[in-house]
Amino acid sequence: MVKEPRLSTQTLKVLGALTSRPGDDLSGAEIAKRTKLASGTLYPILFRLEEAGWLSSRWEVEDPAALGRPRRRFYRITAEGVKSVQAVVRDLTPIAGSLAWSM
Q: What angle do CA 75, 78, 79 make, to 5 degrees?
A: 160
According to the model, what pLDDT value does residue 99 have? Answer: 53
User: What are the extents of the domains in the chain?
Assistant: 9-97
Distance of alpha carbon 72 from the chain centroid: 16
Q: Over 80: is that where the pLDDT of 103 sits?
A: no
What confidence category does residue 5 fall into, taking pLDDT thresholds of 50, 70 and 90? confident
CATH code of 9-97, in short, is 1.10.10.10
CB count within 10 Å of CB 56 equals 16
**Mean pLDDT of the region 6-25:** 86
pLDDT in tens, 37-78: 999 999 999 999 999 999 999 999 888 898 899 999 999 999
According to the model, what pLDDT value does residue 27 have? Answer: 94
Closest CA to 24 of 56, 47, 2, 51: 56
97 vs 42, which has greater pLDDT?
Answer: 42
